[in-house]
Amino acid sequence: MHQAIHPSDPAHLPAARAIWDSFKDTSHFKIETLTLKMVSSQPKYDLIREVGRGSYGVVYEAVIRKTSARVAVKKIRCHAPENVELALREFWALSSIKSQHPNVIHLEECILQKDGMVQKMSHGSNSSLYLQLVETSLKGEIAFDPRSAYYLWFVMDFCDGGDMNEYLLSRKPNRKTNTSFMLQLSSALAFLHKNQIIHRDLKPDNILISQSRLDTSDLEPTLKVADFGLSKVCSASGQNPEEPVSVNKCFLSTACGTDFYMAPEVWEGHYTAKADIFALGIIIWAMLERITFIDTETKKELLGSYVKQGTEIVPVGEALLENPKMELLIPVKKKTMNGRMKQLIKEMLAANPQDRPDAFELELRLVQIAFKDSSWET
């Protein structure tokens, strides 16, 4: 099992239907061009095609009718408390961000649908529909009439280049791409942590590629950190509500994430935002050396570092939990690696989270390595 871990694993959703129209619901509905009405009078978006489906939602490519701009629309069926909790976590995280970052997926709007009734979601709303979802998440049981069809629709950036796994593993290793991706990811993480958001499920599958703005072959694609269903927004402390809490002092106890990217302290259930640093360390190490493993469920080849124990491969975090003094062999495939890069990866993967750099130090050090060491990868 190399899937995301959370209290309950929601089942895959059936394929979506066109809402606010007369289509009948079916688990294998062939999508032509569907109309998604966000207001009662005029349709705002047209759903073009299904582009993906995850553990708790279906994603479509869509266009804004007024501008013809492409967007992604993710439909989440709120039929189980687990789905509701994941959807609300994503909404709370993305709606809490007051500014945009080029490497973090942007939430244009979120629409709540109950049967034929729709309304725009807003954080802290006192609408009965929104409060029923919050109550469902808090109590762990459905707080509304189960005969009603509740859906959340997230309108976000459309990324046309797949995910980081697909992009890198379909191309030869490239130093320029590696450098660009490291800088983009560290910038995104510093931005999230500055906004008191701990992602908790950083992995190549959750990092999307946008190629639409590439005008020349010299430019690298834009990465966008996505999938905030397991994220946590750290609230202000009770002593001084006006003062933002440090994500590195915000302790969490729910063991969640995807095992090959989970820090040792996450397995124990007592961790901070430094767990995101560990996950990014796994991603960067795997990217630089093209270390992959095969997911036992999907049989897909995935980027991710690990430790070999006999014939078995073990997640680095799990191995460090068993033996915190274990020395990681970096590089494991290459003959050599730039000394400063090697040292930084080792610090990111330190068994003790206090020995890891925070996101702001990490961003600075990666910039220094990228621009001061012209041959950092050798």
- Check pLDDT > 70 for residue 2: no
Helix 274-289, helix 359-372: angle, nearest 10: 30
Residue at 176: amino acid letter: K
Task: State the pLDDT confidence band at 185, using cuts at 50, 70 and 90.
Answer: very high
For 258-296, the pLDDT digits (tens) are 999 999 999 999 999 999 999 999 999 999 999 999 998
pLDDT given at position 174:
93
Q: Region 177-181: what's the mean pLDDT?
A: 96
Burial class (CB in 10 A: 0-12, 13-18, 19+), 125: middle
pLDDT given at position 269:
94
Q: Region 59-80: what's the mean pLDDT?
A: 94
- Check pLDDT > 90 for residue 64: yes
Q: Region 52-70: what's the mean pLDDT?
A: 90
Reference 95, options 111, 113, 78; nearest CA is 111
Distance in angstroms (rounded) separating the CA atoms of residues 47 and 61: 6
- Check pLDDT > 70 for residue 13: no
- Check pLDDT > 60 for residue 17: no
Give the pairing type, strands 4-5 and 197-198: unpaired
- Check pLDDT > 90 for residue 88: yes
Q: Region 219-235: what's the mean pLDDT?
A: 93
Name the average pLDDT for the chain: 85
Q: 164-372 is classed in which CATH architecture?
A: Orthogonal Bundle (1.10)
Distance in angstroms (rounded) separating the CA atoms of residues 231 and 188: 14
pLDDT given at position 8:
37
pLDDT given at position 155:
97
* Of 43 and 108, more confident: 108
For 164-175, the pLDDT digits (tens) are 999 999 999 999
pLDDT given at position 326:
96
Between the alpha carbon of residue 84 and those of residues 80, 88, 112, 322, the distances in Å are: 6, 6, 12, 35
Q: How large a percentage of the chain has pLDDT more than 90? A: 69
- Check pLDDT > 80 for residue 329: yes
Annotated ligand binding at 74? The verdict is no
Q: Tell me, yes or no, if 205 is annotated catalytic.
A: no
Catalytic residue among 157, 163, 201, 295: 201
pLDDT given at position 55:
66
Cβ burial 7-35 (10 Å sphere, 16+ → b, else e): eeebeebebbbbbbeeeeeeeebebeebb
Distance in angstroms (rounded) separating the CA atoms of residues 372 and 364: 12
CA 228 remoteness from chain centre: 5
For 26-41, the pLDDT digits (tens) are 333 333 344 555 544 5
| Across 32-36, 78-82, 284-288, 303-307, least confident range | 32-36
Task: State the pLDDT confidence band at 127, using cuts at 50, 70 and 90.
Answer: confident
pLDDT given at position 335:
80
| Domain topology for 8-156 | Phosphorylase Kinase; domain 1 (3.30.200)
pLDDT given at position 368:
94
Distance in angstroms (rounded) separating the CA atoms of residues 101 and 106: 8
- Check pLDDT > 80 for residue 223: yes
* Fold agreement between 8-156 and 164-372: no
Q: Region 234-259: what's the mean pLDDT?
A: 79
pLDDT given at position 36:
55
pLDDT given at position 151:
93
pLDDT given at position 148:
87
Structure tokens given for 122: 């807003």
pLDDT given at position 31:
36
- Check pLDDT > 90 for residue 84: yes
pLDDT given at position 37:
55
Structure tokens given for 145: 């009439």
- The domain locations on the chain are 8-156, 164-372
Query: Is 68 strand, coil or helix?
Result: coil
